[in-house]
Amino acid sequence: MKINLVYNKFIPEYKKTLEHIKSILIKKSVEFDIYELEKMQGSGDITFVIGGDGTLLRAARFYSKYEIPVMGINLGRLGFLAQTGVNDFEQIIDSVLKNEYKIENREMLLSGEYIALNDFVIKGCNPSRTSKFYLEINGKTVCDYIADGLIIATPTGSTAYGLSAGGPVLHPELSAIVIVPICPHTLNVRPLVIPANETVTVKSADRLLSVAIDGYDITKSVDAISISLAPQKAKLAFVENNNFYSVLRDKLNWGVSPSSV
């Protein structure tokens, strides 16, 4: 087995963590390559990503082209996707070498050359005011929104920005797209969950849109954006005891009474 180690040089403590992981792999005679996030290469059997969820998102999108699974070593804050801790790495690598881990295929969204594992966030180009957005699905008008923006998310992304904006939590293995308005200027607008094979198009009344992928700005001043299911899936690797519902409880205090938090 050949392992990739991908690190984010802007994450504090990455050097110390990288050296610790290297020492374990050398001790176990495991072949590995090391790549900075901006210089990843499409080889290897599995990729360990050192950083937070944002680092993992970028690596997962890249390695989806090569069908190589990725597993996160969390150095960030929440670690919803990058769940493995540094202190657990030796146990984790033993499980990986014994093939005692699972791979989850996560759906992604596509718009032109851009691909998202979490979401596309669409706003007007003037961040100081609300905008009017027109929503179409499969070329047919659905509704208009006066809001700060729209989030078009995957089930994986439903626990990210979409959740903060009041959207539903979807199990990551569902095949669906979530549409969540950001701060809508009305009381009768609700998030919408649609089948994954639909095509979502968003236009703006002032014909200017600002678009971000997985938290990173990609383009501004576009007339419209169409988003559909990507042909490839991200492959996220987890140890066998990973459970989506336990992660909701541990990371987001889901189902925990206020008195016990």
Active site residues: 53
The two three-digit tokens of residue 54, written as one number: 């944002």
| 109-111 sheet: strands from edge to edge | 114-116, 109-111, 224-229, 200-204, 131-137, 140-147
One-letter amino acid at 109 equals L
Q: Tell me the CA distances in angstroms from 102 to 114, 238, 241, one per residue in order.
A: 27, 5, 9
Please give the Cα distance from 177 to 49 (Å, whole number).
26
- In Å, how far are 61, 100, 109 from 67, measured between CA atoms? 10, 19, 16
- Distance from C-alpha of 100 to C-alpha of 102, rounded to nearest angstrom: 7
Give the residue from 19, 7, 76 showing the smallest Cα distance to 48: 7
Contact (CB, 8 A) for 34 and 18 = yes
